[in-house]
Structure 1
Amino acid sequence: MAAVLWDMDGTLVDTEPYWMATEVAIAEEHGATWTHEDAMQLVGNDLLTSGRYIKARMGLPQSPEEIVELLLDGVVERVRHSVPWCPGARELLLALHDAGVPCALVTMSYQRFVAPILEHLPPETFRAVVTGDLVDNGKPHPEPYLTAAAALGVDAGDCVAIEDSDTGARSAAAAGCRVLVVPNHVQVPPGPRRTFRSTLEGLGVDVLKTLPDRDQTPPDLP
Structure 2
Amino acid sequence: MPSQPTTPPDDLLPTAVLFDMDGTLVDTEPYWVEAEIELVRSHGGTWSEADSLAMVGTGLEDAAAVFQRAGVDLGIREIVEHLLGRVVARTRERTVRRDGARELVAALRERGVPLALVTSSEAPLAEVVVEAFGGPGTFDVVVTGDLGHPAKPAPDPYLLGAARLAERTGRPLGTEGMVAVEDSRTGIASATAAGIFTVGVPNMVPLHDAGADAVLPTLAGLGPEDLGRLVAGVRA
Pairwise same-fold verdict (TM > 0.5): yes
Structure 1 unpaired stretches of 5+: 216-222
Q: Give the aligned residue type for 2:29.
A: E
Instruction: Tell me if the contact between 1:195 and 1:212 (Cα under 8 Å) persists in the aligned partners.
Output: no
Number of the residue aligned with 2:57 = 44
Number of the residue aligned with 1:218 = none
Q: 118-127 vs 62-71, which deviates more? A: 118-127
C-alpha distance in structure 2 between counterparts of 1:188 and 1:119, whole Å:
28
Structure 2 unpaired stretches of 5+: 1-13, 167-172
**Superposition map of 1:104-143 within 5 A:** 104-122=116-134, 123-143=136-156
Is 1:85 the counterpart of 2:97 in the alignment? yes
Please report how far the alpha carbon of residue 11 of structure 1 lies from its aligned counterpart in structure 2 after TM superposition. Answer: 0.3
203, 208, 211: which one pairs with 1:184?
Answer: 203
Larger radius of gyration: 2
**Superposition map of 1:139-218 within 5 A:** 139-153=152-166, 154-190=173-209, 192=211, 194-212=213-231
34, 39, 61: which one pairs with 2:73?
Answer: 61
TM-score, normalised via structure 1 length:
0.91
Instruction: Tell me if the contact between 1:111 and 1:133 (Cα under 8 Å) persists in the aligned partners.
Output: yes
Matched position secondary structure for 1:4 = strand
Instruction: Tell me if the contact between 1:177 and 1:193 (Cα under 8 Å) persists in the aligned partners.
Output: no
- Identical aligned residues as a percent: 43
TM-score, normalised via structure 2 length:
0.86
Q: Give the aligned residue type for 1:188.
A: L
Q: Deviations over 1:18-70 (max 9, x none)?
A: 1011112213322321112211122011111110111111x122122211111
Q: CA RMSD in A?
A: 1.6
Q: Deviations over 1:166-189 (max 9, x none)?
A: 110111111111011001101124
C-alpha distance in structure 1 between counterparts of 2:68 and 2:75, whole Å:
7
Q: Give the aligned residue type for 1:110.
A: E
C-alpha distance in structure 1 between counterparts of 2:210 and 2:99, whole Å:
24
Instruction: Tell me if the contact between 1:108 and 1:139 (Cα under 8 Å) persists in the aligned partners.
Output: yes
User: Number of residues paired by the alignment?
Assistant: 214
Number of the residue aligned with 1:5 = 18
Instruction: Tell me if the contact between 1:3 and 1:159 (Cα under 8 Å) persists in the aligned partners.
Output: yes
